Amino acid sequence: MCGIVGIVGREAVAQRLFDGLKRLEYRGYDSAGICTVGGGDFERRRAEGKLDNLKRELDADPLAGDVGIAHTRWATHGAPTVDNAHPHIAGPVALVHNGIIENFKPLRDELIADGRTFLSETDSEVVAHLVAREVEGGASPQQAVATVLPRLHGAFAIAFLFKDHPDTVIGARMGAPLTVGYGDGENYLGSDALALAPLTQRIAYLEEGDWAVVTRDRIAIFDRSNAPVERDIVESGASAQRIEKGNYRHFMLKEINEQPVVVAQTLQSYLRTLEGRVALPDIEFDLSAVNRVTIVACGTSFYAGMVAKYWFEQFARVPVDIDVASEFRYRQPVLEPGGLALFISQSGETADTLAALRHARSEGQVVAVVCNVPTSSMAREADLLLPTHAGPEIGVASTKAFTCQLAVLAALAANFARAKGRLSEAEERDIVEHLREAPEAISEALKQDEAIAALAPLVAPARDVLYLGRGPDYPMALEGALKLKEISYIHAEGYAAGEMKHGPIALIDDLVPVIVIAPSGPLFEKTVSNMQEVRARGGRIILVSDEHGIAEAGEGCMATIVMPEVHPLIAPLVYAVPVQLLAYHVAVAKGTDVDQPRNLAKSVTVE
Ligand code: F6R
């Protein structure tokens, strides 16, 4: 993953590079570093851990120089130490790298045999040495990069800095995003438009295999065959404003609380409330011709896709396959003509999902993308873009993007059903009404915040936690377990409630809290039966249901969480709130770093 910024400036760049990194911290926070060039040499500061550590280094020993590159790292090869932190320097070349150089081992062996010494365990350092060897042999920076790029296998975005050419930064991309930015007498490189937003709105997205020579007054772009190319300069529209936490203790809590507003905002572009109709925004696309849907995503977005599978099959009776992107891409899925491949992603940059998208396109599928970042790679490559309007999500654990994805997917399911002739006008009006009720029901669910915070001490000491649900609440159980794992570091599993008896029930004892997600509705009785099986074996249950459900089944539970009574269609949107809040309060009770949990990054741009 990792974030990259480069500036060929007219005045000192260190502070602006650091500000750019702040905007890219979502891509990784294992270490960070900045290198500038001037006065015939490189100057570099690096630090392990969060950007605050790098700031301390910079404050103690400020960096001069008006040209530089910067990096925030999510470790792949080599532990998150200072030695492994970028930028890496090899003689006359410094570099920052995002991605993985898959053939780094033979390249490293070759360079070591050539007498070169490595100072880090990273795959990235081999690229610095390869380019340095060319430059030391007399090649210009441009020639050196052009010679080395074809030798690299894997995915990368790289920015190079040259000691003897202090007016040039060269950027290259293959499989990882990189943009160039056009300024006034200075120019830029960045992993995304957001990083460059305070510097410029005029950007060009490099395409696969492109590389760019960035100087103060010009950006020359070349394609993978080294032929000069033009790429469209567009207004990025990315906000230059830094998102603040406001009065909230964490971004995650702020984003959980934003859900009524952002879900309403998202639904607004998918519902024609006066007519009682659902509609896709600004898109003419004939869903009736689609004979199969393949849903692909990762993590929380995958769980949104699992909920959608229930909806698409129930409402539209269209067959749905679903897979996590990292498996889909390499299992040779059978994709027949007339299929719609639907990709779901908050960031629109997740490498596994992006690779799967390209694979599906090459197999003749129409590509639909549900995405929260309209400038992202996936959004730009979609045939059918279905935006979520969650606004920037900063907390690493996805919350508001998830409920907005569900809102879009519910509307898409209804569109499908209508296109397939399976929805009467009255039924469609009904669905629109229920979806319109979602923001208020989410607000009601948020009122349980204090009650849920009071339950945190019951869960925080546990070593293992189980989540159970049936039907569309099964993915909610998986989502609850994922949220708890990633921010509180407690081992948690989500199970289809009916599957417990086939093995996992052996785990039950009085040390394992079991969170049961069971809204009133068609599956309530069955879920409660499974819950009783757990209780009979000493399981300590937290039942999440509405008043009706709790009256019926709450007796004997360790605790209950009361949700508003809602239509089953919107239950996943509403029940997302208690699982998010429970994970949040348990993490706070355990004192973990809620917004930037260990080992994670917001945007996972390596496969
Ligand atoms: C969990 C979480 C991750 C992401 C996953 C996919 O809270 O945030 O599991 O959902 O990395 O990311 P996107 O949606 O950006 O493709």
Q: How far apart are CA 207 and CA 230, in angstroms?
A: 11
Residue 192: per-residue pLDDT: 87
Spatial CA neighbour of 357 closest among 386, 389, 380: 380
Looking at 445, 464, 489, which one is the last position of a domain? 445
Cβ atoms of 92 and 38 within 8 Å: the answer is no
The average pLDDT across 231-247 equals 84
Quote the ligand 1 centre to 400 CA distance (angstroms).
Answer: 12
Domain annotation covers residue 603: no
Do residues 370 and 385 lie in contact, with contact meaning Cβ atoms separated by under 8 Å? no
Residue 357 belongs to a domain: yes
Reading the block at residue 442, the tokens are 């989410």
Residue nearest to atom 4 of ligand 1 (CA): 299
* CA 318 vs CA 311, 401, 470, 536: distances in Å: 10, 25, 21, 39
pLDDT at 464 over 90: yes
Q: Is there a single domain that holds both residue 83 and residue 146?
A: yes
> How far is 575 from 543, CA to CA, in rounded Å?
12
Ligand 1 atom nearest residue 353's Cα: 16
- Kindly report which listed range (231-240, 280-289, 297-306, 416-425) carries the lowest average pLDDT score: 280-289
8 Å CB contact between 439 and 264: yes
Asked if the model's pLDDT at residue 477 lies above 80, the reply is: yes
Q: Which domain-ending residue is among 235, 262, 295?
A: 235
Spacing, Cα 344 to ligand 1 middle (Å)? 10
Indicate if 469 and 568 belong to the same structural domain. yes
**Ligand 1: nearest atom to the Cα of 603:** 15
Beta bridge partners of 44: 35
- CA atoms of 158 and 171, how far apart (whole Å): 5
* Same domain for 458 and 433: no
Sign of CA dihedral 189, 190, 196, 199: negative
Q: Which whole-number Å values give the CA distances from 463 to 198, 199, 209, 388, 413, in the listed order?
A: 44, 47, 47, 35, 38
Are 433 and 451 part of one and the same domain? no
Closest atom of ligand 1 to CA, residue 602? 8
Q: Are residues 380 and 322 in the same domain?
A: yes
For residue 469, report the distance from its CA to the centre of ligand 1, in Å: 21
Confirm whether 602 is domain-assigned: no
Confidence bin at 282 (pLDDT 50/70/90): low
On the question of pLDDT at 27 being above 80, the answer is: no
Point out the ligand 1 atom lying closest to the alpha carbon of residue 399: 7
User: Residue 553 belongs to a domain with what CATH number?
Assistant: 3.40.50.10490
Beta carbons within 10 angstroms of residue 329's beta carbon: 22
Give the model confidence (pLDDT) of 359-385 as tens digits.
Answer: 999 999 999 999 999 888 899 999 999
In a domain, 146, yes or no: yes
Residue with CA closest to ligand 1 atom 3: 299
Helix (H, G, I), strand (E, B) or coil at 270: coil
CATH number at residue 140: 3.60.20.10
Phi, psi of 404 (to 5 degrees): -70, -35
CA dihedral 216, 217, 223, 228 (to 10 degrees): -150
Q: How many domains does the chain have?
A: 3
Flag whether 242 is in a domain. no
Please give all residues whose beta carbon lies within 6 A of any atom in ligand 1, as ranges.
298-301, 345-347, 350, 353, 397-398, 482, 486, 603-604
Look-up of token digits 């079991």: 514
Q: What is the pLDDT of residues 298-347, one digit of tens each?
A: 999 999 999 999 999 999 999 999 999 999 988 889 998 889 999 999 99
What is the CA angle 67-68-72, rounded to 5? 160
Percent of the chain with pLDDT over 70: 99
Ligand 1 pocket mutation pick from 250, 301, 580 by most atoms within 8 angstroms of CB: 301
**473 dihedral zone (left: phi>0; alpha: psi -120 to 50; beta):** alpha
User: Domain check: are 312 and 403 in the same one?
Assistant: yes
Whether the pLDDT of residue 535 is over 80: the answer is yes
Q: What is the pLDDT of residue 38?
A: 86
Active site residue 105: no
Calculate how far, in angstroms, residue 19's C-alpha sits from the geometric centre of ligand 1.
24
Q: Are residues 83 and 147 in the same domain?
A: yes
For residue 385, is it within any domain?
Answer: yes
Cα separation, 33 vs 21, in Å, equals: 9
State yes or no: pLDDT of 1 exceeds 70.
Answer: no
Ligand 1 mutation pick, 298, 476, 594, max ligand atoms within 8 A of CB = 298
Residue nearest to atom 16 of ligand 1 (CA): 345
> Distance of CA 529 to CAs 61, 244, 346, 401, 508, Å?
65, 45, 36, 33, 16
> Are residues 434 and 514 both part of a single domain?
no
Ligand 1 centroid distance, CA of 499 (Å):
26
Given 198, 214, 235, the domain boundary residue is 235
- 22 carries an active-site annotation: no
Same domain, 270 and 418: yes
In a domain, residue 425? The reply is yes
Q: Rounded to an integer, what distance in angstroms lies between the CA atom of residue 557 and that of residue 537?
A: 13
Extract the runs of DSSP E, i.e. beta strands, from 300-362. 320-324, 339-345
> Do 259 and 380 belong to one domain?
yes
Tell which one of 342, 347, 602 to mutate to probe ligand 1, the residue whose CB is within 8 A of the most ligand atoms.
Answer: 347
The DSSP secondary-structure symbol of 512 reads: S
Same domain (yes/no): 340, 219: no
For residue 347, how far is its CA from the centre of ligand 1 (angstroms)? 8
Q: Which domain holds residue 110?
A: 3-235
Residues 6+ apart with CB under 8 A from 593: none
Residue 27 structure tokens: 């891509």
Query: Quick one: 211 and 304 in the same domain?
Result: no
- List, for residues 110-165, the tens digit of each pLDDT value: 999 999 999 999 999 999 999 999 999 999 999 999 999 999 998 899 999 999 99
Residue 271: helix, strand or coil by DSSP? strand
Q: What is the pLDDT of residues 41-95, one digit of tens each?
A: 999 999 999 899 999 999 999 999 999 999 998 887 888 899 999 999 999 999 9
Q: Does the pLDDT of residue 21 top 90, yes or no?
A: yes
Residue 607 falls within a domain, yes or no? no
Among residues of the chain, what percentage have pLDDT more than 90? 84
